[in-house]
């Protein structure tokens, strides 16, 4: 006997999305979700919740290349430390 709660056809699927508006991965994920919902003809309601990936971002913004380089260097250092440890 299955005890999981089934959604009725009258009750749309509630989807909560936590996203930063500048996150490219969030956009990719949302587009894939939207396409899946469309293909399956799933009734749904999306509830958006804000998330700030970089709360220390200055209001004038930052150079993306510099940020990516800094993060890559940091990740490389962490990997080297883990390997040498």
The label of the residue with tokens 């940020």 reads: 67
The reply to whether 22 falls in a domain is yes
- Domain containing 32 equals 12-54
Confidence tier at 82 by pLDDT (50, 70, 90): confident
Asked if 44 and 13 touch (Cβ cutoff 8 Å), the reply is: yes
- Note the residue count of the chain: 85
Say if pTM beats, i.e. exceeds, 0.95.
no
pLDDT tens string 7-42: 556 899 999 999 988 888 899 999 999 999 999 999
Residue 73 lies in a domain: no
Burial pattern 8-34, b for ≥16 Cβ within 10 A else e, equals eeeeeeeeeeebeeeeeebeeebeeee
pLDDT reported for residue 36:
97
* 48 occurs within a structural domain: yes
Q: Residue for token digits 């990997």? A: 79
In a domain, 69, yes or no: no
Q: Is 29 inside a domain boundary?
A: yes
Q: Of all residues in the chain, what percent carry a pLDDT higher than 90?
A: 40
């Amino acid at each position: 006997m299955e005890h999981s709660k089934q959604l009725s056809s009258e009750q749309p699927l509630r989807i909560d999305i936590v996203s930063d508006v500048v996150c490219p991965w969030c956009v990719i994920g949302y587009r894939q979700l939207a396409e899946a919902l469309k293909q399956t003809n799933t009734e749904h309601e999306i509830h958006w919740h804000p998330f700030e990936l970089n709360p220390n971002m200055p209001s004038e913004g930052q150079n993306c290349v510099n940020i990516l380089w800094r993060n890559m260097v940091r990740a490389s250092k962490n990997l080297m430390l883990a390997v040498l440890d």
